[in-house]
Amino acid sequence: IEAKNRNPQVDVLFVNGDSNGELDGAKYFAWLCVDVENADVYRSGNTFSIDNIEGKKMSFVSNSSTSGFRVPTSTIIAHFADENLDEDKLIEGGSGMFFSEVYFGGSHQGSAVNLISGNADVAAFCDIELQPYLELKSGEENMVGAVYAVAEGADAPFDQYAGREFVVIASTPVFNGPNAVNPMHLSEEEIEARGLVPHLLTLADVMCTGYHAAVSAGVRPGDVVAVIGDGAVGLSGVIAAKLLGASRIIAFSRHPERTALARKFGATDIIKERGAEAPGAVRDLLGGNLCDAALECVGTKESMDQSLAVVRGGGRVGFVGVPHGAELNVGQMFGQNLTIGGGMASARVYMETLLPRVLDGSITPGDVFDLTLPLTEAAAAYAAMDERRATKVLLRP
């Protein structure tokens, strides 16, 4: 629908169906689940209800997830119509909010782990992403009241939770998006003419990685976000934080060209201090406070330490820098109640969100390419990036 609103030429080509040619095979389910041991709190006669989820600790996938946020929040808003709820009242917890606490798992698996580990009372995730790890213990598949358990031998992150059970208290069918076609698609010549090649290339790598950092850090509207790393991924993280609604974005950089690009992408502040001096610089900037979230986009011990140091108690860190010497200070994480998530980004997952924004020009992540070389000079390209003479090099045949 969004694509057709932007371009009337876009139309449905086909929709996934089942073996009988029906639409039942084109849907999956968005669940709201609770631990079996606490299920009686949500029981309503012979079934279950979400009547009593208010004031509980809630886990979503991410604030951009369809079945892990959009659909569940729509279900909650409709159920509690008299309370005039909206997404802003559900996206974070605390005094005056609907939930006492709100967590983001960063993935459907992560949200489920928040539930079965006891961090959350209620969690949203979908059936498709959890199928490889679960077995149905009782009830009917995807129906309210169905009880699932983590299967023996389940892969990480469920390997330590075998046998743990939860019950579905709300289940909403979600139709897979149709496969669409644009008969007036852009030719290679048109793509080149519009200068889209650099921006499209970032969707296979740095832009989606930066976006994964922001999603893993649970960046939400109004957050103050620090971005550690001024390379192509860090700069893409600035774009991502802005897309997810951060009100203030602090980029750490000493490089004039990268500083300028960070500001173009949405950074509101630049800090040159690093290491032990970084937290003090952040406090000076924020009137004594630290950041809500940090995006670690380097992978060194120093960058991880700095990321942990510049977030407040209860803050969140999303890390995507390939680790080389980086270690987590578990004692610090425990003492400050820090949430950390991240890892390798699945670019394909985020392309659906980011591609339309590239095509309509609302984001220009390809600006990170500041040097173009022929493919035969790949070694020179790596040298230029290693020596910080280039942020990102575009290689052409």
Position 183 scores a pLDDT of 56
Say which amino acid occupies 37.
E
The pLDDT value recorded for residue 46 is 93
Q: Within the chain, which residues score under 50 in pLDDT?
A: none
pLDDT at residue 181 in the model? 63
Q: Is 43 in a helix, a strand, or coil?
A: strand
Looking at residue 270, what is its pLDDT?
A: 97
Q: Which residues of 111-127 are buried (b: 16+ CB within 10 A; e: fewer)?
A: bbbbbbeeebbbbbbbb
Q: Which residue has the tokens 């699932």?
A: 148
What pLDDT sits at residue 365? 96
Residue 339 burial by Cβ neighbours in a 10 Å radius (0-12, 13-18, 19+): buried
Q: CA–CA separation, 191 vs 189, rounded Å?
A: 5
